[in-house]
Amino acid sequence: MAYVISDSCIACGTCIDECPVSAISEGDIYSIDADACVECGSCADACPNGAISLP
């Protein structure tokens, strides 16, 4: 099950650099490509706002 980014995302970009498979896309609220996500949790650990979690 891929990680998801909630509405708490402030689009700071911290998570993008942490993703080893480039599964995160930029936007007003960032999004994670569920097919590309390898569920490593690096993005969730890096998020300063706690906006990334497993569904």
d(CA 34, CA 28): 18
pLDDT tens digits for range 4-39? 999 999 999 999 999 999 999 999 889 999 999 999
The answer, as to whether pTM is greater than 0.85, is yes
User: Bridge partners of 31?
Assistant: 25
The whole-angstrom separation of Cα 14 and Cα 36 is: 18
Domains annotated for the chain, with CATH where assigned, are: 4-53 (3.30.70.20)
* CA 54 from centre of chain: 10
